[in-house]
Amino acid sequence: MMRKPEWLRTHLPRESSYLNIKKILNEEKLHSVCVEAQCPNISKCWDSGTATFMILGDICTRSCKFCIINTGNPMGYIDRSEPARLKNAVERMKLDYVVITSVDRDDLPDKGAGIFIETAKLLREYRDDIVIEVLTPDFGGDPCLIEGILKSGINVFAHNIEVVRRLSDKIRDIRADYDLSLEVLKMASKNKTNIIIKSGIMVGIGEIEKEVLEAMSDVRKMGVKIFTIGQYLQPHKNNYNVQKYIEPGTFEMFRKEGEKIGLIVKSGPLVRSSFEAKQAYLEVKKQF
């Protein structure tokens, strides 16, 4: 295994903020992708009192080679009280920007879209000025499911293409598809509201620089406004191996190239989809 370079070192979260958020999540029986996906930004985010919630349980029906989240068949189980408990946690944390993601739920007829919709509506009823970002699965490309989420009161619709085109079939679950993800983004961007469309990829997984630039071009054509690029970090020995640690200067080059084609790009070794999510949102809003 390659030794991690200096720029990938992170700090443990401050005990007070960490324990407070952990306490709220435990009491409301909620999952956080910060913990489940072993996000390297847990210190920065939790110290500032923010978190990305993961709904629909902690068992994913898909098995991507980069992901550590448990794979299995939830057998159609849904916790109907989850949206209300998430709203309670947001209120207790006094958040004004909320990120909601989920595992894939191919076992459900609606792929889990209904819980996304119910959660967003509850948050919108709670506070009209709260900003709601959702990071969704592909929902099998079903336009009705995507439209339902777009009408639920969200501000940002995010769906990650995850890796460059050439590596998609190799790294992602067999049910995922690069072009399907692009189509999901395209469907979302066609809505008539001011919902911002967002996507992202991991690097250091075997791509070349040209392919990253092509990926940014692909998503921009689909209407994406915000794009994140971060270093892939192997979460477990059974996951796909890191092929290369990308230099910070290369991430800066990606950012500049993305901005040339009209993207707001968050690019860096520790960047993840919800990294500086509120800041990126505000940057885009300035353009309207």
pLDDT tens-digit profile of 59-113?
999 999 999 889 999 999 999 999 999 999 999 988 889 999 999 999 999 999 9
> To the nearest 5 percent, what fractions of the chain are helix, strand and coil?
40, 15, 45
Structurally, the chain folds into a number of domains equal to 1
b/e map 161-191, b = 16+ CB within 10 Å? bbbbbebbeebbbeebbbebbbbbbebbbeb
Residue 2 maps to a domain: no
Kindly give the residue spans of alpha helices, DSSP state H, lying in 205-265.
209-221, 248-260
Q: For residue 36, give the H/E element and its range.
A: helix 33-36
The residue whose two tokens read 């919709």 is 117
CATH code at position 142: 3.20.20.70
> Which residues, 6+ apart, have CB-to-CB distance to 230 below 8 Å?
200, 202, 203, 267, 268, 269, 270, 271, 272, 275
Residue 75 maps to a domain: yes
The C-alpha angle with vertex 162 and arms to 158 and 166, in degrees rounded to 5, equals: 135
Residue 1 maps to a domain: no
b/e map 72-96, b = 16+ CB within 10 Å? eebeeebeeebbebbbbbbeebebe
- Confirm whether pTM is higher than 0.95: no
* C-alpha to C-alpha distances, 96 to 64, 199, 278, nearest whole angstrom: 32, 22, 9
Residue 189 maps to a domain: yes
Render pLDDT for 30-53 as a digit per residue (tens, 0 to 9): 876 655 444 555 556 555 545 689
Residue 223 maps to a domain: yes
Residue 4 maps to a domain: no
Residue 3 maps to a domain: no
pLDDT in single tens digits along all 288 residues of the chain:
567 787 776 655 555 566 777 788 788 878 766 554 445 555 565 555 456 899 999 899 999 999 988 999 999 999 999 999 999 999 998 888 999 999 999 999 999 999 999 999 999 999 999 999 999 999 999 999 999 999 999 999 999 999 999 999 999 999 999 999 999 999 999 987 889 999 999 999 999 999 999 999 999 999 999 999 999 998 888 999 999 999 999 999 999 999 999 999 999 998 988 888 888 999 998 876
The residue whose two tokens read 């992602």 is 172
**Strand 52-55 to 31-32 pairing:** antiparallel
Give the number of other CB atoms < 10 A from CB of residue 273: 27
d(CA 267, CA 40): 14
Amino acid identity for residue 30 in this structure: L
Residue 139 maps to a domain: yes
What range does the domain containing 30 cover? 10-285
Closest CA to 203 of 172, 236, 176, 242: 242
d(CA 132, CA 153): 8
Residue 111 DSSP symbol: T
